[in-house]
Structure 1
Amino acid sequence: MSSTIELEGYEEFEEYVKNMALDTVIKRQAVRSGIKVIGEGLENDTPVGPTGELAEIKISVKENALATEGTAKSKAFYDIFQEYGTSEQKAHVGYFERSVEENTEEAISKVAQTIFRKMG
């Protein structure tokens, strides 16, 4: 005895997915919402020095030929020394990478929410 499963409406769904084109504005908004989550996480996890400059995170979203990319980076030039350490200072090694890894899942879900909300 064989059993079968029939799915109705799959053709419409497949057609919807094929025709789904993301507008550049939607892509930029989605990437910005995700990178904002990562930036906020970095601001909270960054070691605070006397100036507080290291915790100021600059967020930008750019359109390349192949993708829309978002970046979050510190405005201070010495952030690399905090991330990788020096011969004298090893207290905060890896803080940037750990913070990004902790916030990646939330950022991805924020991007997906933004896209689905905009696509209707």
Structure 2
Amino acid sequence: MDGIEIEGMEEFADMLEDMTIDEADEKKAMREAIKPIANEIEKNTKKRSGKLSKLSKTVKKEGLGTVGIVRTKAFYDIFEEFGSSHAKHNVGYFDRSVKNTEDNAIEILSKELLDKAR
């Protein structure tokens, strides 16, 4: 025996291959992570017509990362978020909703990805 023999290297390599996270896993984890944000936005949205509380949730690959996007479907959402010359009663509801739930979303995302990696 003139060399070094390492036992268990194949098992270690197999374990590392099983720990990889593919794009589908990333998207699934992101979908789960943006659910609490969407629920909080729906809860804090003014309910006059109900159109503003209808949300579009999109998960897509952008550059090297996976991005989750939550947006309202109504064109006038910007007036509710930033106010107008006549209405300033619900200014910042979208931003507040996201900030209130971002820690929860990050926790869900990390849990989903770490569970997959194990």
| TM-score, length of structure 2 as denominator length | 0.81
1:27-66 map, 5 Å: 27-49=26-48, 51-66=49-64
Between structure 1 and structure 2, the one with the greater Rg is 2
- Distance (Å, rounded) in 1 between the aligned partners of 2:62 and 2:93: 28
- Once superposed, what is the RMSD of the aligned Cα atoms? 1.7
Share of identical aligned residues, percent?
36
Q: May I ask how many residue pairs the two structures share in their alignment? A: 103
State the Cα distance separating 1:20 from its structure 2 match.
4.9
Task: Name the counterpart of 1:5.
Answer: none
Query: Structure 1: which amino acid aligns with 2:42?
Result: E
Structure 1, unpaired ranges of 5+: 1-15
Give deviations 1:50-102, integer Å, cap 9, x for gaps: x2010111100011222110100001111000000001000000000000000
- Distance (Å, rounded) in 1 between the aligned partners of 2:76 and 2:92: 14
Query: Structure 1: which amino acid aligns with 2:47?
Result: V
Query: Structure 2: which amino acid aligns with 1:109?
Result: E
Which runs of 4 or more aligned residues in structure 1 lie more than 3 Å from their structure 2 counterparts after TM superposition? none
| TM-score, length of structure 1 as denominator length | 0.79
Q: 1:54 aligns to what SS in structure 2?
A: coil
